[in-house]
């Protein structure tokens, strides 16, 4: 087991009150495995990722839970230790929209080399040489190290950002909506690249997306998130072919399928306000199966016989 997250909570302080962005999230991840974190925008996917990287916004009010990486409890590390040993070196991340935040006045090769100079004490030439190798690994011509961001297309910039995340040989890379700004044909190219990296480097990945069909392209297991909770967690086969949680069922039914005739459905209503989440099961106001109990009592995480976890009273 590479990573074990238990009961992770992250609340933000706002003028409207506490935002319960991540509210008791637990999952684990094996070496070489890819976990998909899937759900509607605002359900807490990015916040979960930021908590793992311990890159917390200033207005964080609560940050709790246990994160074990390589058998080490990294929640108890000081900020210094975390920076020196964990962040970027063991866990790295491609941020949502990262390709648009490359520094416009620096050559992209230097931007990939920089973390190696800072964290690995490499000299500049050595780091640039490794940057060229990384460029090759992500499908860019090594000579592109001398280009500026504006001289690259969107797909190329996304490859640069992936190269940056790989620079320090992390064991885990978190990808937050890495293709959502790209056209479909470029998205498919990037997904192919990620598949290749997964196979070649044996690296573990957490792949964040609101598009559950896209998650099928990379993920071995899938965690479906709703309103700050994981509501179902299982293998890709279990979750995609036979979802159990009513929200997961609806989410999969909402995908317009190109190769099958299955008329897409939708989920009426909107996800709840996380300042004041619904009582009981947070999905109950939109759930066709909700009972009185669902309105009052929060369902526990229930392990089914096939090994998956579902947070729903239908199985309790």
Partner 1 sequence: MKTMEVLIELKNVKTYYFIPKGLFKTIAVRAVDGVSLTVHRGETVAIVGESGSGKTTLGKTAVRLLEPIAGKIIFEGKDITHLKGDMLWFRRKAQMIFQDPFTSLNPYMTIRQILEEPLIIHKIGDPSEREEIIAKALTEVKLSPPEEFLSKYPHMLSGGQRQKVGIARALVLRPDFIVADEPVSMIDASSRAEILYLLRNIQREYKMGIMYITHDIATTKYFSDNIAVMYLGKIVEFGPTSKVLKNPLHPYTRALMEAVPDPDPSNRFKERKVIPGEPPSPINPPSGCRFHPRCPYATERCKKEEPKFVEVEPDHYVACYLYE
Ligand X SMILES: Nc1ncnc2c1ncn2[C@@H]1O[C@H](COP(=O)(O)OP(=O)(O)O)[C@@H](O)[C@H]1O
Which residues contribute to the site for partner 1 (CB under 8 A)? 34, 40-41, 153-155, 183-189, 191-192, 195-196, 210-220, 235-237, 240-241, 250-252, 254-260, 263-268, 270
The reply on whether position 202 binds ligand X by CB under 6 A is: no
- Say how far apart CA 303 and CA 208 lie, in whole Å: 23
What does the block give as tokens for 224?
């479906």
Q: Does 179 bind ligand X (CB under 6 A)?
A: no
Give min distance, CB of 41 to ligand X, in A: 4
- Taking CB under 6 A as the rule, does residue 144 contact ligand SF4? no
Q: What DSSP element (H or E) covers 147?
A: none
Pick what 294 binds: ligand SF4, ligand X, Mg ion, none; C-beta below 5 to 8 Å, kind-dependent: ligand SF4
User: How many Å apart are CA 283 and CA 278, to the nearest integer?
Assistant: 8
**Which residues here bind Mg ion, judged by CB under 5 A?**
46
CB 10 within 8 A of CB 60: yes
CB of 249 to partner 1, least distance (A): 11
246 contact, one of partner 1, Mg ion, ligand SF4, none, CB 5-8 Å limit per kind:
ligand SF4
Using CA atoms, how far apart are residues 245 and 239, in angstroms rounded to an integer?
9
Which is nearer to partner 1, 168 or 213 (by Cβ)? 213
Nearer to ligand SF4, 165 or 312 (CB): 312
- Residue whose CB is less far from partner 1, 256 or 316: 256
End-to-end CA separation in angstroms for the chain = 28
What does 44 interact with, of ligand SF4, ligand X, Mg ion, none (CB < 5 to 8 A by kind)? Answer: ligand X
Cβ(208)–Cβ(46) under 8 Å?
A: yes
Q: Scanning residues 11 to 50, which ones bind ligand X (CB under 6 A)?
A: 12, 14, 19, 21, 39, 41-47
Angle at 50 between CA 63 and CA 96, to 5 degrees: 150
| Three-class DSSP category at 113 | helix
Q: Does 282 bind ligand X (CB under 6 A)?
A: no
Distance of CA 284 to the CA centre of its chain: 25
- Segment contacting ligand SF4 (CB under 6 A): 35-43, 216-224, 268-276, 289-297? 289-297
Nearest 5°: the CA angle 258, 262, 267 is 105
Q: Are strands 34-38 and 17-29 parallel, antiparallel or unpaired?
A: unpaired
Contact between residue 198 and residue 34 where contact means Cβ atoms under 8 Å apart: yes
Residues that bind ligand X (CB under 6 A): 12, 14, 19, 21, 39, 41-47, 57, 59, 274
Residues that bind ligand SF4 (CB under 6 A): 246, 281, 283-284, 287, 289-290, 294, 299, 312-314
């Amino acid at each position: 087991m590479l990573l074990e997250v238990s009961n992770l909570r992250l609340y933000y302080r706002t003028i409207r009150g506490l935002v319960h962005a991540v509210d008791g999230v637990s999952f684990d991840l094996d070496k070489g495995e890819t976990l998909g974190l899937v759900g509607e925008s605002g359900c807490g996917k990015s916040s979960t990722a930021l908590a793992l990287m311990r890159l917390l916004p200033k207005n964080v009010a609560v940050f709790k839970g246990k994160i074990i990486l390589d058998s080490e409890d990294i929640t108890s590390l000081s900020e210094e230790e975390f920076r020196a040993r964990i962040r970027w070196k063991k866990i790295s991340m491609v941020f949502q929209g990262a390709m648009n935040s490359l520094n416009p006045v620096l050559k992209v090769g230097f931007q990939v080399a920089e973390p190696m100079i800072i964290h690995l004490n490499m000299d500049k030439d050595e780091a640039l040489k490794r940057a060229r190798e990384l460029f090759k690994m992500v499908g860019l011509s090594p000579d592109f190290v001398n280009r500026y961001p504006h001289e690259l297309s969107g797909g190329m910039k996304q490859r640069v950002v992936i190269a940056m995340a790989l620079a320090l040989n992390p064991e885990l890379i978190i990808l937050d909506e890495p293709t959502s700004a790209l056209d479909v044909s470029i998205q498919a190219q990037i997904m192919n690249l990620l598949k290749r990296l997964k196979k070649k480097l044996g690296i573990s990945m957490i792949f964040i997306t609101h598009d559950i069909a896209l998650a099928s392209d990379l993920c071995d297991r899938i965690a479906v998130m709703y309103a700050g909770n994981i509501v179902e967690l299982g293998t890709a086969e279990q979750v995609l072919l036979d979802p159990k949680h009513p929200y997961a069922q609806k989410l999969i039914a909402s995908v317009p399928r190109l190769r099958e005739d299955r008329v897409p459905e939708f989920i009426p209503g909107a996800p709840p306000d996380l300042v004041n989440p619904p009582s009981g099961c947070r999905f109950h106001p939109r759930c066709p199966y909700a009972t009185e109990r669902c309105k009052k009592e929060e369902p526990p995480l229930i392990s089914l016989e096939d090994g998956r976890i579902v947070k729903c009273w239908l199985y309790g």
